[in-house]
Chains A and B, each alone.
Chain A
Amino acid sequence: MMRVAGGDEEAFAELVRATKRRVCGLVYRFTGSAREADDLAQEAYLRVWLARGRYRPEARFSTWLFTIVARLCLNERDKMRRREDAAAPSPAAVSPSVAPPAPPDALEQREQAVAVRAAVLELAEGPRMAITLRYFGGLSDLETAEAMGLSLPAVQALLFRGRQKLLARLGQAAPSGA
């Protein structure tokens, strides 16, 4: 990352190669759409490039990277919600329970994957981002709090809400295949 901070494009290419799977995966789990994940992940890397001079080596790189990714995702969702509100002010139009889910990819046809996907995407944005960073991004509670710009207790409350809803939706029993 220090080479990237110095403007080394080759080092930046290496960084993208090394992290793109995790970043795209995280955005995909937050948005539920592969196309949106691709767009937002591209935008996130551009912001990483533009902010490279502000990176401080004392911060863990993945936390710094996911801070950019998380804020971008949340901001984009805000903008999208405002656009949707302006276009169709009906609350039903933005309700996650009635919004049509994005078409599942071929890899997600298995019953468990579809159930998990639906359960995650039904979460409100705050708990969903916390759950996504924590489980799919592999961050600790504290790192999740840093990435979301929240206090640790606030993030733990979001995680609790998210876990409660996920367990209620997915059921507490072990999956049939396990």
Chain B
Amino acid sequence: MSCDGTRAALSAATGAPLPLQAEAHLASCSECRAWAMALDRLPDRLSDWTAPEPPEDFEARVLARVRRLRRPARVLALAAQVAVFILGALAGFAGAQWARDASWMRGERPPETAVEPALDVTDDYVAAFGRHR
């Protein structure tokens, strides 16, 4: 096995046993043995680079953004409730209208209030043209 193949096998092994060919190559190649040792030390080397602590207000800013995301959802829910109320009211009104129309079609006399004359007719008008009722 080549140096490159052996190192790829070392990189992929992560605790698992190496293929026999890679083991054989390692036994005879000091450069690959040095590479293997350096690979073992790599986590320690990388840990030299520390990250700064997150800003103090990090969490507060995340939560503020989450709440801003939720606000439009609340507005939509309210709008949906209002729409349902309006549709319900319209349906109720239409239902009542339909019931009244149906009663007329059955020949039932409509209530007096429904046929109030729009204008007061004077006695002279009644004398001249009669009462249209």
Chain A CB within 8 A of B14 CB: yes
Roughly how many angstroms separate A28 CA and B45 CA in the complex, as a whole number?
17
Q: Which of A43-51, A65-73, A76-84, A88-96 contacts B (4 or more CB under 8 A)?
A: A43-51
Q: Are B54 and A136 in contact (CB under 8 A)?
A: no
A160-B8, A163-B39 are contacts. A113–B50 as well, Cβ < 8 Å?
Answer: yes
Contact (Cβ within 8 A) B11 A163 = yes
Contact among A29, A41, A110, A167 with B38 in the assembled complex (CB-CB below 8 Å): A167
Closest Cβ of chain B: how far from A24's Cβ, in Å?
4
Q: Does B106 contact A (CB under 8 A)?
A: no
Chain B residue contacts of A108, Cβ below 8 A: 49-50
Tell me the B44-76 residues at the A interface (CB within 8 Å). Answer: 44-46, 48-55, 58-59, 61-63, 65-67, 69
Contacting pair B41 A174 (CB below 8 A): yes
Main secondary structure, interface of B, reads helix
Are A112 and B63 in contact, with the CB atoms below 8 A? Answer: no
Closest to B41 in A: A174
Q: Which residue among B12, B39, B44, B54 has the maximum number of chain A CB atoms within 10 Å of its CB?
A: B54
- A16 proximity list for chain B (CB < 8 A): 58-59, 62-63
Which of B12, B14, B69 interacts with A46 by CB under 8 Å?
A: B69
When the two chains form the complex, which single residue of A13, A120, A140, A164 contacts B59, counting CB atoms closer than 8 Å? A13
Task: From A112, A156, A174, give the contact of B11 (CB < 8 A).
Answer: A156
Chain B residue nearest to A26 in the complex (CB): B51
Q: How close is B82's CB to chain A, nearest CB, in angstroms?
A: 23
Interface size bracket, B side: 20 to 34
Let me know if B59 and A136 touch, CB within 8 A: no
Give CA–CA (A21, B54) in the complex, Å: 6
A-side contacts of B53, CB under 8 Å: 21
Q: Which of B7, B8, B62, B69 is the most central at the interface, judged by chain A CB atoms within 10 Å of its CB?
A: B62
Closest to A162 in B: B11
Q: Report chain B residues within 8 Å CB of A148.
A: none
Write the B1-28 contact mask toward A (1 if CB under 8 angstroms, else 0).
0000001100110100000000000000
A170: B residues at CB distance < 8 A = 45
The complex places the Cα of A24 from the Cα of B51 at a distance, in Å, of 8
Interface residues of B (CB under 8 A from A): 7-8, 11-12, 14, 34-35, 37-39, 41-46, 48-55, 58-59, 61-63, 65-67, 69
Q: Which 3 A-B pairs have the closest CB atoms?
A: A25-B51, A172-B38, A116-B49
